[in-house]
Amino acid sequence: MSAFIDVATRGTRSSAAVPVTARLRSAGVWIVAAVAILITVIATMLMTSDRGTDAPLHYDSTSRDGTKAMVETLRDQGVDVTTTEDFDTAHKAAGQPDTSLLIPTQAETLSQGDIDGFRSELAAEDNRLVLIDPGYAVQEFTDRITVNDSLSPLASPDKISQPDCAVPSAEAAGPVETGDYEYAEARKGTEGLRACYPFAGPGVSQIDGGAVTPGSAHGQLIVDQGGGGKGDFPVTVLGNSTWATNAGIDEEGHASLVLSELSQTDHLVVYYPTESADSESAPSTLDYVPSWFIAGAVWLVPCIIVLLLIIGRRFGPLAVERLPVIVPAVETVHGRAALAARSHDRTGALHTLRTGALLRIAKRLALGPEAGLTDIIVGISNSTGRDPAQIESVFSSAVPHTDSDLANIVHLLTLIESEVS
């Protein structure tokens, strides 16, 4: 057969490498995606590291209520400062000789076990504990110091407090800003305990009825050398956190006071307790599942990733089909019909159907093109034996007023047309 003559266009592909630009173009999406991911990761890291040092009195915080300035100044002065948020690290570091432990805030979140751990470590080396405005949590660390609750409620202390004591660092520092709390010795006349910066001003007086006996030593700075007994260690309470903050340390005598109190030893451990550190939650169901089972279950994740990569890889792009143009034709008829139906053009529709039927009947009855309506009606009546008046009504005169009228007339029209032979 001549139809099988080969006039093929034969295509080849040499093994020449694809140009670099084309490769780059196809790899462009991946490069852009990689860069976008990298940027996101870097931005996230930068933002999270910023956010991490916003905590008040945090040693890394550069905001107004941080203490980075204090820590850095101490380091400049040659103090070996260890900063940590981890209890174990702080615990270990507090046990070294010639060390002070500073707990700047949140002392109340420490558990009794943690506090006992610190106490034994501190007592072993006679190391000093420094607390900044600890509130009632101070009683957990030592039974020699407490919050002064014997202050008259009508007191309105001066904004600036004077040292008013024999502690050299306080005398050197001079006046400081007044805080909210005053601390006092737990028992009147405790040996080795000195108090500075007592509240002074109108209405300041000690009243009876609190845990602190009136006349006990009291002030915003308590320096306790310890009782000398087993388990005792020196404690210093700085009663106002403003003294140590980045914003407040350069005011009044704050810097002098705080720095001299903290630089008395060669080593300083700054422990910033975080709440979640030791909060033990109730054992969940997961704790009863063996760890090998969890490891196996988690390992399914890379398995699924590999499976998805295998399934998701398409064997080449989709084949393209070049479709020819096709115009829907009957749809225009449907559209025209819908228009006629919406405008209730029953007369027009019936007229068309009548004309079509009459033309077909005339052809079937072998009537020439010159035959008129009356000739055809006579022909139909002769052929079917129906009443000419009825035929005339159906094919010419009847007017459809409703849709059911139209349906009836058309039905009869179709019937008569089928009867004509």
Partner 1 sequence: MTTRLLLLTLLGIIPVMLMPGFTSALIVAGIIVLLALVDFFLTPPPRLASLQRTPGPMVRLGDPTHSTLTVVNDSPRRLRLAVRDAWSPSAGAKSTRSRLDLAPEENTQVVTQLLPVRRGALHGDKVTIRSRSVVGLIARQKSFDVPAIVRVLPPFISRRELPSKTQKLRELDGRSAVMIRGMGTEFDSLRDYVDGDDVRSIDWRASARAQDLVVKTWRPERDRRVVIVVDSSRLAARRCGDGTVFDAALESALLLTALASGAGDRVDVVVADARIRAIASSHRSKDPVHDLSVALTTVHPELYDADWEQISSTVLATSRQHALVVLVTALDEGSVSDEILPVLPTLLARHRVVLASVEDPGLRELAARRDGTDEIFTAAAAESELLTSKSLQTRLRGAGVQSVEAGPDDLPGALADLYINLKATGKL
Q: Which positions touch partner 1 (CB under 8 A)?
A: 2-15, 17-18, 291-296, 298-300, 302-303, 306-307, 309-310, 313, 315-317, 319-322, 324-330, 333-334, 336-338, 340-341, 348-350, 352-353, 355-356, 359, 403, 406-407, 410-411, 414
Q: Which is nearer to partner 1, 286 or 298 (CB)?
A: 298
Q: Which is nearer to partner 1, 112 or 418 (CB)?
A: 418
Q: Taking Cα atoms as reference points, which of 252, 256, 257, 221 lies closest to residue 236?
A: 221
Q: Which is nearer to partner 1, 124 or 305 (CB)?
A: 305
* Minimum distance of partner 1 from residue 399's CB (angstroms): 15
Report d(CA 148, CA 211) in Å as an integer.
8
- In angstroms, how far is the first alpha carbon of the chain from the final one? 50
Decide the pairing of beta strands 176-177 and 183-185. Answer: unpaired
Burial of 165 (0-12, 13-18, 19+ CB in 10 A): middle
Q: C-alpha 358: how far from its chain's center? A: 79
* Minimum distance of partner 1 from residue 398's CB (angstroms): 14
Report d(CA 60, CA 268) in Å as an integer.
15
Q: Which is nearer to partner 1, 353 or 378 (CB)?
A: 353
Query: Per DSSP, what are the bridge partners of residue 377?
Result: none
Report d(CA 261, CA 77) in Å as an integer.
13
Query: Per DSSP, what are the bridge partners of residue 244?
Result: none
* Minimum distance of partner 1 from residue 298's CB (angstroms): 7
Q: Which is nearer to partner 1, 79 or 350 (CB)?
A: 350
Q: Which is nearer to partner 1, 333 or 385 (CB)?
A: 333
* Minimum distance of partner 1 from residue 307's CB (angstroms): 6
Q: Retrieve residue 295's tokens.
A: 């490891």
Q: C-alpha 90: how far from its chain's center? A: 32
* Minimum distance of partner 1 from residue 134's CB (angstroms): 38
Q: Retrieve residue 417's tokens.
A: 């047309």
Contact 51, 126 (CB under 8 A): no
Q: Residue written as tokens 């845990």?
A: 211
* Minimum distance of partner 1 from residue 3's CB (angstroms): 6
Q: Which is nearer to partner 1, 13 or 159 (CB)?
A: 13
The number of C-alpha atoms within 13 Å of 384 and in the hemisphere containing its C-beta is: 21
* Minimum distance of partner 1 from residue 365's CB (angstroms): 17
* Minimum distance of partner 1 from residue 304's CB (angstroms): 9
Q: Which is nearer to partner 1, 77 or 352 (CB)?
A: 352
Per-residue b or e along 3-23, where b marks 16 or more CB atoms closer than 10 Å to that residue's CB: eeeeeeeeeeeeeeeeeeeee
Burial of 237 (0-12, 13-18, 19+ CB in 10 A): buried
* Minimum distance of partner 1 from residue 279's CB (angstroms): 22
Q: Which is nearer to partner 1, 75 or 360 (CB)?
A: 360
Decide the pairing of beta strands 183-185 and 218-219. Answer: antiparallel
